[in-house]
Every structure is written in C-alpha cells, then in structure tokens.
C-alpha cells in the first residue's frame, strides 16, 4: 500500500470513530414498509452472534469478498475497528456529522440527509488466506477453515473465488446495500479492496411459503428451525475450548457458491422431468409423495425411488437418515441477474449461501452426495468461497475479532 493511501486510511479511521459516535446503539426496528410486508423485526448490532445468520433474508443483498492490504497487525487491528464502527453506524442510522465546508461530505448523500437504518444487516467473514504469515495469526486460524476446493462439475473462475474477508450486506432496498458498500469502501480505502462482488435478491412468496429460485422451484424448504436454540448449537454455532481458537466460539462457517443457471436450456425441459430432477412439485413445493411443501418425504416407503427418484436433488441433499442428520445446513440463498453474457445468453442464477458448524461434516458431505446429479446439466458453479463468520460484537467497547487479535 502506498504511503498516501496508508495516511488516508489512518486519518479516515479517526474520522470513522467520530462519525460512528453520532448514531445511537439502541436496537433497531423494521421500517413501516417492511413491517407491512410481514418481515420480522431486525435485531440490534450488538450481541453474541452476528446479525444475518439466523435472520430471514431481506429483499436485497450484496456479497463482496476483499483482499486485505494492511501493513502489519496494527493496521489490521485498525481495519477491524473501522469495520465495526461503520457497521454499527450504518445499521443504526442517524445524521452524518458536519465536517465543515472545506471538507468532503461525511456521507455520499444517496440516502438523503439522515441515514435510515433500512433494516440493514452487515455480516463479516474471514477467509483462510487472512491467516497466512502476514499478520502472525496462523495459530488463531479457525479449526475448520480451509480454502474452498474445486468440486466435480465446477467451472471455477479464480477471479470470482476466495478472499481475505467477506461482507454480506442485506436490506430491503438496493440503494441501502449499495450505500453501505460504498461507505465501507470509502473508509477502508488503502487497506482492503474488493476482489469480487455479487448482487442478489429474494422473491416474495408466490403464492405463499418459501421463496422460489429462478428455476421456479422453492428454495430452502427443509431448513432446520432457527428458533430451536439446541438445533442451532448442534448445526450452526461453533464451540471451541482450545486456548488459541476459543475466540471462535459463537461463530459459524459460511459457504458462498455462485451458481449460474442455464435458463434457456432449463426452460425447454418438460415439467414432469423438472419435478423428477428436484423431487418436488413446482407449484406447491411438496415432495412428490406429498401435497404441501411442509410435508416430509417418506423415503422409507419408496426405497427404489418409484415416486421420488433416488437421484433427485432433495433425496441426495438430505436423505433423512440418522447417519446424515448431522450434515444438515442452514440455507440463506439469493437469486442473481447479471444481464446477458458475451453471446447473448441470460446470465442468471443462485447466490447460494449456507451456514454450518463444520464445513467438512456438513456442506462438503452434502456436496459429495450431489456429485453428478441430473441437475448438473443445467447449472454451472463458477465462484464463491469459504469464510468463518466470527461471533458478534458484544458492546461498544468491543470490535470485530478483538479476542483474535490479542
């Protein structure tokens, strides 16, 4: 990093503390528009876990991965302090400070003179590459964190993979998430830069129940119950008692997978075949042996797959056996639309997101079962990565991963 950019960052870090101080740290509530749509309340910034993991996905998201350019552990610490201050201020809202007529405005102004909280959540992740020899953090690396491998049927583009840090920004409006990314990029310029980013959206229930992906099928029906604390402790939250990595307790591992859907080919497939590939009806989302999306498939009554094929997506992903129960994941996926590619084909797909306690036991076990499933003829995974989502920021005296940096 150039000396000019380093000075700019360190100066900006001081200003960030001032700007963050103007915002109240009280718990936020959903704006009226979101409340009318039946969206749940959004928790405050502080707490044992980061927001955005268990919360119902908002209408819009930006997922961005970053390369860290900080020079040494001191600058890295200042980076995490700055990220904490910005996330706290952005998710709480309030009036930006007035820095004087000769200084650049403290805020871009794209959300108006006073920042609405906008049901924004900010979820930070750490990539395996952050724990190389740059900052002396090798011993602090989360026990299960690795770089995402190339799986069979992948066509990964390395410019869309991995990263030292990740941020997932969620809100109900496009301008809210873009404003947050722009603000964070401004305040961290010179010490981290965007490696890749993807915008995503969720669809309202049509006509009810779980959202649909761009193949027309409901996505995430079989998720574990996020209100069941014991289930979340078993499947989502990390617990580690080893001295060097005890700081990870209360965090989780997130998988991002950028999956292009070959829409033009999929749209030529008959409905019956589409439903056989997924194992569910398209309209209701019910398993092929049921009537409602909530119905549990009875694989034990159909061992050879006459009703729900043994190669169907739902049967491979979640066989519902005692041996595979511990491999369940918490899906938090979004759709994406990037227009058209260089030959005029639609560039649409899934910003697959899932949280788990153990990447190998859960996501990778599911992925192995899905190798060469019929659906692979209509999708192309091209990017993403693994990140560790640290525990939440407890109070105003704490910042992201402060226990890791001690």
| pLDDT tens-place string over residues 300-345 | 999 999 999 999 999 999 999 999 999 999 999 999 999 999 999 9
CA dihedral sign of residues 384, 387, 391, 393: negative
Comparing C-alpha atoms, which of 249, 294, 53 is closest to residue 166?
53
Cα–Cα distance, 295 to 60 (Å, whole number) = 29
How many whole angstroms separate alpha carbon 346 and alpha carbon 336? 11
* pLDDT score of 200: 98
Predicted confidence (pLDDT) per residue in 370-406, tens digit: 999 999 999 999 999 999 999 999 999 999 999 998 7
DSSP string, 345-405: -EEEEEEEEEEES-TIIIIIHHHHHTTT-GGGGGEEEEEEEEEEEPPPP-STT--TTHHHH
Residue 101 has a pLDDT of: 83
Q: What is the pLDDT of residues 15-33, one digit of tens each?
A: 444 344 333 333 333 333 3
The predicted pLDDT at position 6 comes to 59
**What's the mean per-residue pLDDT of the chain?**
91
Q: Which residue has the higher pLDDT, 115 or 183?
A: 183
- 47-51, 112-116, 256-260: least confidently modelled range: 112-116
* CA pair distance 335, 314, nearest whole angstrom: 19
Q: Give the Cα separation of 107 and 165 in Å (integer).
A: 24
pLDDT of residue 96: 87
**Interatomic CA distance for residues 83 and 70, integer angstroms:** 13
Q: What is the pLDDT of residue 21?
A: 38
CA dist list (Å): 372 to 151, 206, 317: 11, 30, 12
Q: How does pLDDT run across 211-234, given as a tens digit for each residue?
A: 999 999 999 999 999 999 999 999
Domain positions in the chain:
128-161+204-406
What is the DSSP code (8-state) at residue 43? P
**Structure tokens given for 272:** 């019956």
Give, rounded to a whole angstrom, the gap between the first and last alpha carbons of the chain.
24
Residue for token digits 């268990």? Answer: 54
Query: Is the pLDDT assigned to residue 34 strictly greater than 70?
Result: no
């Amino acid at each position: 990093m150039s000396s000019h950019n380093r000075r700019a960052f360190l100066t900006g870090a001081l200003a960030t503390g001032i700007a963050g101080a103007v915002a109240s740290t009280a718990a936020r509530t959903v704006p009226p528009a979101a409340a009318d749509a039946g969206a749940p309340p959004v928790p405050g910034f502080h707490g044992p876990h980061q927001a955005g993991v268990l919360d119902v996905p908002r209408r819009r998201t930006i997922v961005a991965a970053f390369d860290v350019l900080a020079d040494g552990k001191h600058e890295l610490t200042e980076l995490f302090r700055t990220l904490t201050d910005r996330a706290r201020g952005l998710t709480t809202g309030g009036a930006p400070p007035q820095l004087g007529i000769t200084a650049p405005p403290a805020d871009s102004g794209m959300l108006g003179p006073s920042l609405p909280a906008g049901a924004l959540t900010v979820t930070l992740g750490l990539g395996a590459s952050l724990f190389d020899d740059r900052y002396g953090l090798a011993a602090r690396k989360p026990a299960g964190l690795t770089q995402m491998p190339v799986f069979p049927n992948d066509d990964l583009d390395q410019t869309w993979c991995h990263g030292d840090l990740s941020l997932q920004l969620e809100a109900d409006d496009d301008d809210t998430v873009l404003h947050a990314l722009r603000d964070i990029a401004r305040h961290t310029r010179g010490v981290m830069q965007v490696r890749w980013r993807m915008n995503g959206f969720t669809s309202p229930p049509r006509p009810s129940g779980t959202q649909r992906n761009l193949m027309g099928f409901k996505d995430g029906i079989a998720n574990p119950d996020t209100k069941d604390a014991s289930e979340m402790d078993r499947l989502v939250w990390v617990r580690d008692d080893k001295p060097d990595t005890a700081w990870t307790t209360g965090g989780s591992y997130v998988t991002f997978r950028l999956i292009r859907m070959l829409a033009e080919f999929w749209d030529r497939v008959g409905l019956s075949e589409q439903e056989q590939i997924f194992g569910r009806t398209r309209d209701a989302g019910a398993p092929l042996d049921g009537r409602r999306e909530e119905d549990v498939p009875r694989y034990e009554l159909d061992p050879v797959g006459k009703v729900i094929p043994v190669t169907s997506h739902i049967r491979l992903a979640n066989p519902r056996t005692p041996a595979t129960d511990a491999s369940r994941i918490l899906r938090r996926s979004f759709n994406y639309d990037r227009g058209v590619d260089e030959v005029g084909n639609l560039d649409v797909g899934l910003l697959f997101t899932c949280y788990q306690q153990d990447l190998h036991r859960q996501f990778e076990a599911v992925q192995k079962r899905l190798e060469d499933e019929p659906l692979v003829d209509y999708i192309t995974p091209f990017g993403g990565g693994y990140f560790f989502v640290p525990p939440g920021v407890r109070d105003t005296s704490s910042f992201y991963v402060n226990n890791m940096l001690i």
